[in-house]
Amino acid sequence: MNDLKFESQKSGNENIIVKISGDIDAYHSPKMKEEMEGFIKGDFKNLIMDFQEVPYIDSAGLGTLVSILREVRNYQKELKIVGLRKNIKRIFEMTRLDNIFNIYDTIEEAEK
């Protein structure tokens, strides 16, 4: 089990990039929801979640992401996911969540 860590940085006036490292599972999902709350309510138009250092996600983690997406949309903001590893990208495709989330390969693409 990898502890979940968050590191954020501003990118321009409209973007906040949140680098996530660790497993997003049932154990860590409440922490992720809590951490993201501040960014969702912040002054940024776009929330970019960088998943390059996320090796594992389970159904609870996916559910938490859907919940975060719903909240982001309630605040008229946009959620972008970047850097999914192949195994996690496959999970998004199998669950068809790739049709719901804005997924990009790089941060540069997401910032456009």
pTM score over 0.85? yes
Q: Which fold has domain 5-111?
A: Transcription Regulator spoIIAA (3.30.750)
E-state strands within the chain? 5-11, 15-21, 46-53, 78-82, 102-104
Return d(Cα 90, Cα 57) in angstroms, integer: 11
What is the per-residue pLDDT across 6-49, written as a single tens digit (0 to 9) for each?
Answer: 999 998 878 999 999 999 999 999 999 999 999 999 889 999 99
Q: What percent of the chain has pLDDT over 90?
A: 90
**Mean pLDDT, to the nearest integer, of 70-81?**
96
